[in-house]
Amino acid sequence: MIPYGMINWLNRKTGTLLRCRDPRHRRAKFFTYLVQKILKRPVVVEDRNGFSLILLPQERLYSFFYNGYLGASEIGEQEFCKKTIKPGMTVFDIGANIGQFTLLFASLVGLAGKVVAFEPCSETLQRLRAHLILNGFPDVVTEQSLVFSSHAEKMPFNVYSEGRSVHNTMGNPTLFVRGAPGVSEKPVRQDYLDTVTIDRYCSEHGIASIDYLKVDVEGAELEVFQGCREMLARKAVRHIQFEISQPMLQGMKRESSEVFRFLARAGYICCPISERGELLAPVEDTDRFFANFIAVPREDV
C-alpha cells in the first residue's frame, strides 16, 4: 500500500491524484511518476503472473502499472494459454518482444516441453534473454530472425526507439504520438535481417508439430502463415494465437480479411477470446482496431 504522505506529495506534483477514486489509477500514476521523474532508470517489476520484467523509463509505464504489467487487452489471451498449454508441449513465440508471453509459455510447458522465441531486434532480444535468465528459464531457444514467407533472404526491418519496441515492423505504418496531434512516430533506423520460414525451421530442427503458435509481428501475420503452408496443410499446428492491428496491417499494405481467408483455406476457423480466456463464436473478419484471435483446425471444433 502506498503511504498517504507519499500520495499527498505526488498530488502536489500532479494536481489530480487525490481527486481520483480509482486506487489502481492512483497507484499507476504514482509509480509512473516515480520511475520517469525521480528514479529515471530501468526498474524490475513483477507482472500479473509473477514474472520479473525490466521496464524502461521511456516506455508507456502507466498501462503496465494500471493493467497488471502485461496489459488488460491481453489478459484473456493469457488465461486461454493457461487452459490450453500443458507440460511437454512445443510452443513458438513469433515476435516475442521482451518476452511477457515467452515467460508464461516456458512456465506452462515445463522442463519436458520446448519454447522457441523469435525476436528480430537486437536490443529487444537482449531484454528478452535477460528476462529468461532473471526468471530461471535458460532452456528457452531464442532466434534473431524475421519469420516470413521466404527463407534466407535479407529483408528491411524498421526499428523504433527502445521505449517503443512494440512498433518494430517490416511495414511503414502511420503511428501518431500520443498527446501530439498530427505528429507521427518514425523509426530510428532500418536493419536488414535474415528471414526464416516456419516450415524450413521445423524441418531443419526436427520439429514435427507445434502445439501452440503465437504470431505478433505488427502486420506481417499473413507472410508468417504463408511460410507455414506445409505445417498448416497437415494440421501440424494445433492452436494459433494471432494479432490483428489495423495500422500495422495498413503499413504492410494488407487487410485483416486476407489473414482470415488464408487460414480458412488452410482449414482453420478463427475465434475471438473472452476476458476469461474462453473462445467465442467463430468470425471471418474483424473491424476492430486491435485484437487477438485463436485459430484451430476446423475438425477440432
pLDDT per residue as tens digits for the range 17-45: 445 577 888 888 888 899 999 999 999 98
Residue 267, by phi and psi: left (phi above 0), alpha (psi -120 to 50) or beta? left
**Over residues 250-264, mean pLDDT:** 97
SS3 259: helix
Per-residue pLDDT for 190 more than 80?
yes
CB 50 within 8 A of CB 137: no
38: CB partners within 8 A, 6+ apart: none
Cα 233 to chain centroid distance, Å, stands at 25
Average confidence (pLDDT) over 130-158: 96
CA angle, residues 195, 92, 194, in degrees to nearest 5: 10
CA distance 279 to 284: 14
pLDDT digits (tens, 9 = 90+) for 210-243: 999 999 999 999 999 999 999 999 999 999 999 9
Which long-range contacts (C-beta less than 8 Å, at least 24 apart) are formed by 109-112? 109/85, 111/139, 112/87, 112/88
DSSP annotation of 39 reads: I
**Strand pairing category for 154-159 and 189-196:** antiparallel
CB atoms within 10 A of CB 113: 20
45-96 confidence digits (pLDDT tens): 888 888 999 989 988 888 777 766 544 558 899 999 999 999 999 999 999 9
Rounded-to-10 torsion of CA 272, 146, 122, 59: -30
* Ordered structural domains, the chain, with CATH: 4-67 (no CATH), 72-300 (3.40.50.150)
Distance from chain centroid for Cα 236: 23
CA dihedral 16, 18, 23, 27 (to 10 degrees): 70
